[in-house]
């Protein structure tokens, strides 16, 4: 099994059973915080890709190779996020179809 990591956001090895005090009191939320961190990481990757592309286009100071790498990282991480979202929605729909 391959290890998928988006800056530590979706890496199962980074998810620990030890919760911060605020999450212990709330009775959960670790899954939500992992998703929030992953989304913020993806947003940062997309912003970095936009800045790198702007450097190449406007300032002529950046490298096309760096811009393409940043763009691919942002694109792949967005695709992974969408697949995770689809799996979560499928699981939710399956739970809703269960008879009680």
Q: What is the pLDDT of residues 31-85, one digit of tens each?
A: 889 889 999 999 999 999 999 988 888 877 778 898 899 999 999 999 999 999 9
Contacts of 5 (CB under 8 A, 6+ apart): 11, 14
- Which pLDDT does position 4 carry in this prediction? 47
pLDDT at residue 58, rounded to an integer: 85
- The model carries a pTM of 0.63
Q: What is the CA radius of gyration of the chain?
A: 18
Distances (CA, A) of 66 to 9, 41, 48, 57, 80: 23, 18, 11, 13, 21
Helix ranges, the chain (H): 21-26, 30-54, 64-97
Long-range Cβ pairs for the range 49-55 (8 Å, 24+)? 49/73, 49/74
Distance CA 75, CA 11 (A): 18
Name the DSSP letter for residue 12.
G
């Amino acid at each position: 099994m391959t290890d998928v990591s988006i800056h530590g956001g979706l890496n199962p090895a980074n998810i620990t059973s030890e919760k911060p005090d605020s999450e212990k009191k709330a009775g959960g939320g670790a899954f939500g915080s992992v998703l929030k961190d992953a989304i913020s990481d993806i947003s940062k990757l997309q912003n970095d890709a936009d800045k790198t592309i702007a450097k190449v286009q406007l300032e002529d100071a950046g490298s096309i190779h760096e811009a393409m790498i940043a763009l691919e990282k942002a694109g792949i991480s967005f695709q992974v996020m969408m697949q995770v979202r689809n799996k979560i929605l499928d699981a939710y729909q399956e739970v809703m179809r269960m008879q009680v």
